[in-house]
Structure 1
Amino acid sequence: MKNIVAKVLPNSIAEEVEIESGDKLLSINGNEVKDIIDYKFLSTDEYLEIEVEKPDGEIWEIEIEKDYDEDLGIVFKEAILDKPMSCHNKCIFCFIDQLPEGMRKTLYFKDDDSRLSFLQGNFLTLTNMKEEDIDRIIKYRISPINVSVHTTNRELRKQMLNNRFAGNIYDILKKLANAGIKINTQIVCCKGINDGEELIRTIEDLYKLYPNIENLAVVPLGVTKYRESLAKLKLFDKESSKDLIGYVSKLQEKYIKETGSPFVRLSDEFYVMADMEVPSEEHYGNYEQLEDGIGMIRMLKNTIETDVDNLNETGKGTFTVITGVSAERFIKEAAEKIMSKNSNITINVIGVENNFFGKTITVAGLLTGSDIIRAAKENVLGEYIIMPNNMLKRGYELGDEGNGLLLDDYTVAQLEEILERKILICDYSGDDLINIINEQLRED
């Protein structure tokens, strides 16, 4: 059932007015609460009249006076209060279509829900949204939203998404931008399809809507070994990555002169494939696009450089860092800098080849527990294993259990038991890595 209260936070307004677990929220100020967007918007007012149905069917009408935007302290059983909207596209690059059989059911669900963009930062294609849905985003000021654009070429977008209704993306973006909605955009770049002149045109089109389109992330296509029945797609290599970096950098230079921001930023993978140095820290602003794999390497380099002085220089310890193949070189550089500061520390870095999805997948975020176990058993392990937090899956459908879950359903606790090592979870930054190491060092 919708709108069922899972729990009430201690010392909250909801607790004070005796809302309880199992109650059903019916309306706020006479408006039906259809989903989380309604709830977030309607509950901001200073005066609320709330209608709640108790488990025995009794209807309570509750008056609440509070500060504007003060949270009521209600946690719902369903995070979005409803079933998420699924994606109706058949994108030629869709990663979900490249998954093997037998994985957990939720991994095969293709969401395209504006509420999940609002809650979790998911990217939307906007292809399944009606005019009233767009108007609702504007009315409720749902901002920022994250949009997967891929191309502004109407016909090409229809082909790439295999959806005859996908061509009006730029019209929708203009309507949202003109209404003051902030938008983050993304392009999955497919070699020979939406790169080159097509990519330049798309970037220029989106830049016309700056600053309401705040930024654009360009990431390369990911191809697993499970594409037998799917369209044949080409992968970027060293030369094609260099070419792409070259023509995009010219646009970045132009935009920096005009606004102080490059507007469009490329995934770290392009620089790794091209064997080129990633841009400077200034290029990445406040690292808003880390979730797209943009700026992780630079953040690591810079934070290691600035925080290595905080390293305990006398403690002893041995560590093994697990990462993907693409980041292995950079993690090793960070490890060497740490070990040069304290020779009592040993850090072994394992770049794990992805046998589960195929060796063309090289990022840490798509590693599975089975591949980590295999690689770890082939190496001498330190006293502790350090893993980046982007290996762990999160989502409304996983609940609290998702915080320690890998793609193939191994949990961190299971890995610890199998490998007989304590696993430490680290974020993208060097300062977190150094803090974690300091906490485990021993003084003999």
Structure 2
Amino acid sequence: LERLMDAGIEIHAQIVLCPGLNDGDELDRTLRYCEAHPSITSLGIVPLGFTKHQDRFASSYSDDWRAARAVVEQVRPFQERAFERFGRHTFQMSDEFYLAARLDPPQADFYDGYPQFYDGIGMIRSYLDDTDAVLADAARVRRTGDALRSLGLRLVVISGEAARDTVARFVESPELSGEARAIKNYYFGGNVNVTGLICACDILDQLETDLGRVMLILPEVMFNADGLTLDGYHREHLLTLLEERGARALCSSTAPQELLSFIEGDLGL
């Protein structure tokens, strides 16, 4: 790592924090190391994720809000000093930590331009801000909701358990009157609960067999570049299976602005 930094390479690093392994004093040591090396311009701190196949770690931060909050507080002085020195916060907690700690995520400018967005750092703040911006045009959202209702369609947007309440802020707004449906991840089990790791088998098992009059939106993030889920279903095959249950099954980004535009396009608005 130091050879890379000596060569002038900017580093975006990540800590996967494991209870009893690299937290506590060991986390302090790692944070001090990063603080001493300004070439590390962002450091993501994410909680351990484990599946039903692993039993080494009996607990996780998602099970203990006090432990999660203690980590957030432990990192805070490093964030403050980084901002004083460089005008950036550098040390970034994942969304999962704020959810587990029962804390609101920081404001957008805290995320330094979201350099680790796709590691789940700042996604919730971005979604909340996008929701506020879209709902400010209440007439537009209401027009879309009215169009769905006039066709007798009920909007259902699939989400992981972790993000369900955040997605619901937009999808279940009075103007749209849809439903954000959380899918529990039985395929991986453990504490896996993010939208990007949803598997087709869990969707098929947990959705009702009669999906008539439902516009069902699958999040595009659950498919890879080849259109496959982690359990090997192709996007088109999964959509077909859901259409056979009566759904108007579609795949889209679930970010509010993009989702609203997608639904408008599908309805010809």
2:171 is the counterpart of 1:335:
yes
Question: Is the 2:45–2:92 contact (alpha carbons within 8 Å) kept by the matching residues of 1?
Answer: yes
Q: How does 1:407-422 map to 2 (within 5 A)?
A: 407-420=230-243, 421-422=247-248
Corresponding residue number in structure 1 for 2:51: 224
Corresponding residue number in structure 1 for 2:151: none
* Post-superposition offset of 1:244: 0.5
* Post-superposition offset of 1:388: 2.4
Question: Is the 1:320–1:381 contact (alpha carbons within 8 Å) kept by the matching residues of 2?
Answer: no
Report 1 or 2 for greater relative contact order, CA contacts < 8 Å, sequence distance ≥ 6: 2
Aligned identity (percent) is 30
Residues 1:226 and 1:379: Cα distance change in structure 2 (over 3 Å)? farther
SS at match of 1:188: strand
Aligned counterparts of 1:300 and 1:426: Cα–Cα separation in 2: 15
Corresponding residue number in structure 1 for 2:18: 190
Amino acid at match of 1:262: H
Q: How does 1:51-90 map to 2 (within 5 A)?
A: none
Over residues 285-315 of structure 1, what are the superposed CA-to-partner deviations in whole Å (9 max), with x where a residue is unaligned? Answer: 2222121111111111101211332835324
* Post-superposition offset of 1:429: 3.1
Higher helix share: 2
Aligned counterparts of 2:260 and 2:109: Cα–Cα separation in 1: 23
Unaligned runs of 5+ in 2: 149-153
Over residues 357-379 of structure 1, what are the superposed CA-to-partner deviations in whole Å (9 max), with x where a residue is unaligned? Answer: 11521111111100011222278
Corresponding residue number in structure 2 for 1:304: 131
Aligned counterparts of 1:275 and 1:262: Cα–Cα separation in 2: 21
* Post-superposition offset of 1:383: 3.2
Over residues 112-143 of structure 1, what are the superposed CA-to-partner deviations in whole Å (9 max), with x where a residue is unaligned? Answer: xxxxxxxxxxxxxxxxxxxxxxxxxxxxxxxx
Residues 1:197 and 1:176: Cα distance change in structure 2 (over 3 Å)? same
Corresponding residue number in structure 2 for 1:155: none
Over residues 387-438 of structure 1, what are the superposed CA-to-partner deviations in whole Å (9 max), with x where a residue is unaligned? Answer: 32321124xxxxxxx2x11000111111211111344333363211221222
2:219 to 388, 400, 410: 388
Q: How does 1:22-421 map to 2 (within 5 A)?
A: 173-210=1-38, 212-227=39-54, 231-236=56-61, 237-308=64-135, 309=137, 311-315=140-144, 316-317=147-148, 318-337=154-173, 340=174, 342=175, 345-377=176-208, 383-394=214-225, 402=226, 404-420=227-243, 421=247
What is the TM-score with the length of structure 2 in the denominator? 0.87
Question: Is the 1:299–1:430 contact (alpha carbons within 8 Å) kept by the matching residues of 2?
Answer: no
Amino acid at match of 1:197: D
Q: CA RMSD in A?
A: 2.1
Q: Any runs of at least 4 consecutive aligned residues in structure 1 with deviations exceeding 6 A, and if so which? A: none
Flag the structure with larger Rg: 1
Amino acid at match of 1:176: L
Over residues 182-228 of structure 1, what are the superposed CA-to-partner deviations in whole Å (9 max), with x where a residue is unaligned? Answer: 22101110012111221122122112221x22211111111111125
Question: Is the 1:366–1:407 contact (alpha carbons within 8 Å) kept by the matching residues of 2?
Answer: yes
Unaligned runs of 5+ in 1: 1-172, 395-401
* Post-superposition offset of 1:269: 0.6
SS at match of 2:217: strand
Question: Is the 1:364–1:390 contact (alpha carbons within 8 Å) kept by the matching residues of 2?
Answer: yes
SS at match of 1:346: coil
State the aligned residue count.
255
Residues 1:378 and 1:193: Cα distance change in structure 2 (over 3 Å)? farther
Aligned counterparts of 2:143 and 2:250: Cα–Cα separation in 1: 21
Aligned counterparts of 1:332 and 1:379: Cα–Cα separation in 2: 22
Aligned counterparts of 2:110 and 2:206: Cα–Cα separation in 1: 35
Aligned counterparts of 1:192 and 1:208: Cα–Cα separation in 2: 24
Corresponding residue number in structure 1 for 2:252: 426
Residues 1:381 and 1:372: Cα distance change in structure 2 (over 3 Å)? farther
Amino acid at match of 1:377: E
Question: Is the 1:350–1:375 contact (alpha carbons within 8 Å) kept by the matching residues of 2?
Answer: no
SS at match of 1:385: strand
